[in-house]
A and B are shown apart, each in its own frame.
Chain A
Amino acid sequence: MKTKEILRQKRHFHSKRYGIGLLFMLPWLIGFCIFVAIPIGWSIFMSLHKVTVVPGGFKYERFGMQNFKDAFVVDNIFPIELITYIQQMLLMVPIIVIFALLISLMLNQRFPGRFIYRAIFFLPVIFATGQVLSELFTQGAGDIPFLEQYDLQPMVEKYVGLQFATTVMDVLSRVVLILWYSGVQILIFIAGFQTISPTIYEAVRIDGASPWDSFWKITLPASIPFISLNVLYTIIDLFTFPLNPVLQHIRDNMFKIDTGYGYASALAWIYFAFIFVLIALVLWLFNRSMNARRNRS
């Protein structure tokens, strides 16, 4: 009898605790169902159908995997754009992350006027998204002059091969805008550096380590989690880059009569799958390097 009473009380206590937690989570849970889960399910459904717009709604025609097949077999633009953009991303991500690392290392130093510099480097966060950026880009405000002045194209072709030369040149030609994409990453790095205890640096300095050593032995290993975080963030951020040709292609196909929403959804899912593989790969690599480090120490 007594144990039963205790159990009942215990259950009551738990349900109350669960209740409060659920209450806090409730808005998100409802929102997730309405604004994420249903649309995702619907989008998958559409990608498996040929969707035509008829007055008063959509007409679905069973299509199976045909949309996905068409993307690679019939569509002769999409695969090329997809591969090109992923190539560009593979080049852009390291540029952004390494640049952000260098800048944040410099900004992390103590020197007079660093607040001004910090403000400047966070400025792109304000407008590196959206329409202003593409407006600037179409007008060539992000160009760097030396690209044409020194005629780098042949040199690039010589070093990386014809196949990747256009990719490299594309990325180089908008390098300023790419650097603008490192605002948030710089913030993450700076915040990350704060978590490294300054006493470690003092200790190794007393032991006679040069700044060079302390960078390679302390700062870099300690920032591996932030590097991985930044790589992930950059991939996701570039995923919806406003000048992204893949997204443009998807959008174009939504409004074409012969392809429509079903095909566009299929394209979007293919794109998502590619990025997802990329993200999974990054996570796996970083996990491995972290584990290796942990095993060594």
Chain B
Amino acid sequence: MNTRLWFEKFGSQVRGVFWSRTAQRIKVVLLGRSISDGLLAKLILYLLLSIVAYLYVQPILYMISTALKPLSDLLDPTVKWIPRVVTWENVTTAIKGLKYPEALRNTALIAISCSIVQVLICAMTGYALAKLTVPFKGLITALVIMTFLIPPQIIIIPLYVIYSKLSLLNTIFVFLIPAIFGQGLKSALFILIFRQFFKSQPLSLEEAAKLDGASTARLFFGIMLPLARSACLVVFLFSFIWYWNMYYEPSWFLSDNFTPLSIRLDRLEDVLNPSLLGQRNTIDNPATESSKMAAAFMIILPPIVVFMFLQRWFVSGIERTGIVE
């Protein structure tokens, strides 16, 4: 009796100590600045991150695995991740169905040209809002933020009519011209990023340049823009990716031959399976699932490659631009 009581007490004490320790460790892992203490802390950190990373990567793995499966493996419930036979047939079907080289060219053309324009125009606008004297600056800044809030669904029909009047439909200019006039995809966000960056630059720099006789244009293109390298990279990458992936606008403005990858992915089912045309309910048709996954993977492959090359600068760029106040 006595021993049992003692035992329980001892047990609860041990448990108490144990729990308080663990809690402490978890606290350190989650919130600590001094991460260097203890292997356990690091292990838990790695474990947590790995679990979430797995959740993140899993759909991509699913994409790859499904893309390489033949139909028999796809229907076989015992085959989960690794196909019995790796087949490249789906990939070739997808390339044919998407008309990949042509669509890739279209998408790349839109994404690269528009994002370069975006960088330049948004930098100019952001600079004007940050450093130059512009009448009604506060109002204009509010309008910039407002353009970010206006959903494309509200203005898409008028835009469609405007573009068709200007006979721009089915050309790259549908995206290039708004971008030139500072109304590209999410341009408001980029303008604000640049505004923030230029605001954080010291005034003395400009004054020094002005004293040396530099004009505003010279100051901007010669000094400010090169200084904003990291902001430019961040804006370029975001803009590139968003233009690459955009679906809604092209689904309105580009319909004939000049279509990007996202539209062709959406129509892939109809292309691969013309007999089912119009029956959108049969979306998870197993016969074309693998090809569609292959197509989806090939669409995101180019941005992933670009991102892998640039990510180191990208991340450090984000940290240095002071995107946030």
Measured CB to CB, the residues of A under 8 A from B are: 14, 17-18, 20-22, 24-25, 27-32, 34-36, 38-40, 42-43, 46, 102-103, 105-107, 109-111, 115, 117-127, 129-132, 135-136, 138-142, 144, 176, 179-180, 187-188, 190-192, 194-195, 201, 205, 210-212, 214-215, 219, 225-226, 229, 236, 239-240, 242, 247, 250-251, 254, 261, 264-265, 268-269, 271-272, 275-276, 279
Report whether A124 and B56 are in contact in the complex, using a CB–CB cutoff of 8 Å: yes
| Closest chain A residue to B314, Cβ basis | A122
Q: How many A-B residue pairs have CB under 8 A?
A: 263
Report whether A118 and B247 are in contact in the complex, using a CB–CB cutoff of 8 Å: no
* B182 CB contacts on chain A under 8 angstroms: 27-28, 31-32
Report whether B121 and A27 are in contact in the complex, using a CB–CB cutoff of 8 Å: yes
Report whether B324 and A195 are in contact in the complex, using a CB–CB cutoff of 8 Å: yes
> Contacts A131-B245, A131-B265: A106 and B154 contacting too (C-beta < 8 A)?
no
Report whether B183 and A20 are in contact in the complex, using a CB–CB cutoff of 8 Å: no
Of the candidates A180, A201, A240, A242, which one forms a contact with B151 in the assembled complex, judged by CB atoms under 8 Å apart? A240
> With A and B bound together, what is the CA distance between A176 and B216 in angstroms?
48
Additional pairs, 19, CB under 8 Å, beyond known A106-B30, A190-B315: A14-B133, A17-B133, A24-B132, A29-B140, A31-B178, A34-B162, A35-B183, A38-B162, A111-B35, A117-B53, A118-B311, A122-B314, A123-B60, A136-B63, A141-B58, A179-B55, A269-B154, A271-B153, A275-B149
Interface of A, helix, strand, loop or mixed by DSSP? helix
> With A and B bound together, what is the CA distance between A22 and B136 in angstroms?
11
| Closest chain B residue to A130, Cβ basis | B245
Residues 285-314 of B at the A interface (beta carbon under 8 Å): 289, 292-293, 296, 299-300, 303-304, 307-308, 311-312, 314
Which residue among B148, B152, B292, B323 has the maximum number of chain A CB atoms within 10 Å of its CB? B323
Sample 8 A-B pairs with CB under 8 A, ordered by A number.
Answer: A25-B125, A28-B182, A32-B183, A43-B154, A107-B49, A140-B284, A141-B58, A215-B30
* A46 CB contacts on chain B under 8 angstroms: 157-158
B11: CB under 8 A from chain A?
no
* B246 CB contacts on chain A under 8 angstroms: 129-130
> Contacts A24-B125, A136-B59, A205-B34: A130 and B247 contacting too (C-beta < 8 A)?
yes
* A211 CB contacts on chain B under 8 angstroms: 27-28, 31-34
